[in-house]
Amino acid sequence: TPLAPGTAALAGLHRPVGAERAAATVDAAWEVGIHTFDTAPHYGLGLAERRLGAALRDRPRDAYTVSTKVGRLLRPLPVPRGDDLANGFAVPATHERVWDFGAAGVRRSLEESLERLGLDRVDIALLHDPDDHARPALEEAMPELHRLRDEGVVGAIGVGMNSTPLLTRFVRETDPDLVLCAGRWTLLDHSALRDLLPAALEHGVGVVVGGVFNSGLLADPRPGATFDYAEAPAHLLDRALRLREVCARHGVPLRTAALRFPFGHPAVAAVLTGGRSPREITEAAEALAAPLPAGLWEELRGEGLLPEDVPVPGDRRGRTGEG
């Protein structure tokens, strides 16, 4: 499906979410035809995988797609150390995360994810944030993912991270099926157009775009809003407010435009969006289906808010450029 819910929020990202609400959110996605879900051990120290697995347990296995990630192992602590909010999750700190992009670590991570999910295979496995671990990720982790794919334990393999230069290297050197790019192909940040998107198109690698709201600024631009998990600088806040003004003139919520923008590039296969409630999932599905006025993108270009070389939905040019 072109829209895939992430499950970090269902595992207490920034604030707690109850088990019933998490299950209802997955049910809501199912009801609107969204059957692809993204998760990871990192999210809530395994809670996201456990909750997703429980919510899908009675669904036909061939009817949904699950993507999880490898690169962090979870080691139990002898005694819990308060909460995990230092890592972003409002859950008890029962485990510690240990980076491991070695072949054995990748296999062990996937085995533990399968146990938490209650599955015997996953559809997609991604290396998770290998920014500071490029060498073992390239030389050990990706070859191991290829072996796991050959064994049928995973269906498709790839990499998920924020930095496009290393993602582009994976695309060119390691034959992934897809990559997840967070925050670098949005209404405010077009940097993926320099390298990643052209390379993905050239090599036939699908791109899933995450972080379309740049961690908050494009969802609700206001003083104190965050851009890439820090307070947004004044010039970006001003730009986001101008984007919202133009969208409003066309009767389009900024969130809707932000969700739809990535599909302007032909390498983009899907958008990943968070949701901590059934309402948020339903609204995202409605935003994806809503008709957009033809003049919206034109006016954004005319106002200097989108460069001319940035492809937008409807023209599918996919041209290169710095944006």
Identify which of 10, 14, 6 has the alpha carbon closest to the alpha carbon of residue 85: 14
List, in sequence order, every beta strand (DSSP E) within 165-215. Answer: 178-182, 206-210
Instruction: List the one residue out of 210, 260, 262, 218 whose CA is nearest residue 242.
Output: 218
Tell me which of 3, 22, 28, 43 is the catalytic residue.
43
Rounded CA-CA distance 144/319 in Å is: 34
The amino acid at 82:
G
Helix (H) / strand (E) element for 67: namely strand 65-70
Specify the DSSP element, H or E, that contains 51: helix 47-56
To the query of whether residue 64 is one of the catalytic residues in this protein, the response is: no
Residues whose CB falls within 8 Å of the CB of residue 286, separated by 6 or more in sequence, listed in order: none
Question: From the CA atom positions of the chain, what is the Rg in Å?
Answer: 19
Write out the DSSP string of 76-105: E-SS--SEEGGGTEEEE--EEEEE--SHHH
* Single-letter residue type at 55: A
Q: Cα(317)–Cα(155) distance, rounded to whole angstroms?
A: 30
Please spell the DSSP secondary structure of 105-166, one letter per residue: HHHHHHHHHHHHHT-S-EEEEEEE--TT-HHHIIIIIHHHHHHHHHHTSEEEEEEEES-HHH
CA distance 191 to 205: 18
Contact 212, 184 (CB under 8 A): no
Catalytic residue IDs: 43
